[in-house]
């Protein structure tokens, strides 16, 4: 499960190249490297499960997070590309797209009362997600129950995308 991720917030017109590279290095390049390395081993043994972590921003544009948004769109696309190649060889590649989770990456949003209120008003579940909310999805995608699931980006967002 490729779960590392960082975020840098700034207006796109002022976004620093070093921030762009740092985000893409962790959020995309590391995912690619780990998928490729694990995939080689899994292809050789004829089975395996790879779970990438994308984001709601794999479906939306985001605000003040151009590198994060680009990286998560790319993770969703990479997940589908690898699934297309490897499904017939016994390797499942899927992704989880978390919504707004109470993690370090969202601390700045949660610390801004107006923005936090806007976010919570849009989430039908009326709360920030927790890492525990992702656990069942990860277990499903890692289990035999998902053997016929390939290239899917499964949203876990408290209903955000339903609005």
How far is it, in rounded angstroms, from Cα 54 to Cα 72? 5
Would you tell me which CATH number, out of the four given (2.40.50.1070, 3.40.50.300, 3.40.50.720, 3.30.420.40), belongs to the domain 12-162? 3.40.50.720
Q: Which pLDDT score is estimated for 122?
A: 97
How far is it, in rounded angstroms, from Cα 78 to Cα 52? 9
Residue 70 sits at φ, ψ, to 5 deg, of: -60, -40
Per-residue pLDDT of the chain (163 residues; tens, 9 = 90+): 999 899 999 999 999 999 999 999 999 999 999 999 999 999 999 999 999 999 999 999 999 999 999 999 999 999 999 999 999 999 999 999 999 999 999 999 999 999 999 999 999 999 999 999 999 999 999 999 999 999 999 999 999 999 9
Q: Which pLDDT score is estimated for 95?
A: 98
Residue 32 sits at the vertex; the CA angle it makes with 31 and 33, to the nearest 5 degrees, is: 95
Other residues' Cβ atoms within 10 Å of the Cβ of residue 79: 28
Residue 68 is a catalytic residue: yes
Catalytic position from the list 15, 68, 100, 148: 68
Q: Which pLDDT score is estimated for 23?
A: 98
Q: Which pLDDT score is estimated for 154?
A: 98
Tokens found for residue 61: 């544009």
């Amino acid at each position: 499960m490729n779960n590392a991720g960082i975020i840098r917030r700034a207006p796109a017109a002022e976004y620093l190249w070093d921030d762009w590279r740092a985000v893409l290095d962790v959020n995309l390049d590391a995912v690619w490297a780990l998928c490729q390395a694990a995939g080689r081993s899994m292809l050789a043994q004829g089975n395996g499960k790879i779970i990438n972590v994308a984001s709601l921003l794999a479906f939306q544009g985001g605000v003040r997070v151009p590198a994060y948004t680009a990286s998560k769109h790319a993770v969703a696309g990479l997940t589908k590309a690898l699934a297309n190649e490897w499904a017939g060889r016994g390797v499942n590649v899927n992704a989880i797209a978390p919504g707004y989770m109470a993690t370090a990456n969202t601390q700045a949003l949660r610390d801004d009362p107006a923005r936090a209120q806007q976010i919570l008003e849009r989430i039908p579940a009326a709360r920030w997600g927790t890492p525990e909310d992702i656990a069942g999805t990860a277990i499903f995608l890692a289990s035999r129950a998902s053997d016929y699931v390939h290239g899917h980006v499964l949203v876990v967002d408290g209903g955000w995308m339903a609005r």
